[in-house]
Amino acid sequence: MKQIVLDARALIALFYENDRYHAEAELGFRQLFQQKTILWMPLPILFEVYKWLLNHQRYEIACDALTLMLDVLQPVFLAQSDVLTLQRMIQSLPGWSGSLEDASVVIHTAQRRRCPVWTMNYRDFGTIQDLQFWTPEQK
């Protein structure tokens, strides 16, 4: 079965109708659900999406999105060893401008699932080698 690790941007674009990537997010999630893809979401990404929606939308939208994400996506919880791995990764990339949330996507992908990442912000992942990316098929 196909698996994808989600970055926050795809989820934000899905829940925020005015986002410039909203149509692409709808198309992508439709394709992933039709293909019965397992959608992995590191817990820091859940926090990032909820906080963004809370700050840019209404409380109700953020809460509804939180419920939907927990019902539909597969949350990935980080262990203490994961956090230490994140720290080592970030320290090994002194010029990297990505966040800890971005690093959690990379670590989860690289170490556990060996599956593609769906992001809309490749800049944060550009310096990381051996990452595969997924994009929706344009119709």
Here the tokens at position 24 are: 């692409």
* pLDDT tens-digit readout, 90-126: 888 887 777 778 777 776 675 677 889 898 876 666 6
Q: How far apart are CA 26 and CA 107, in angstroms?
A: 26
Comparison of pLDDT for 28 and 117, the residue scoring more: 28
* Domains, the chain, ordered by start: 3-125 (3.40.50.1010)
For residue 42, the cross-strand partners are 76
Check residue 123 and report its DSSP letter. Answer: G
Residue 80: strand, helix, or coil: helix
Residue 119: its pLDDT value, please?
Answer: 85
Q: What is the mean pLDDT of residues 72-101?
A: 85
pTM of the full structure: 0.87
Q: What is the mean pLDDT of residues 18-44?
A: 96
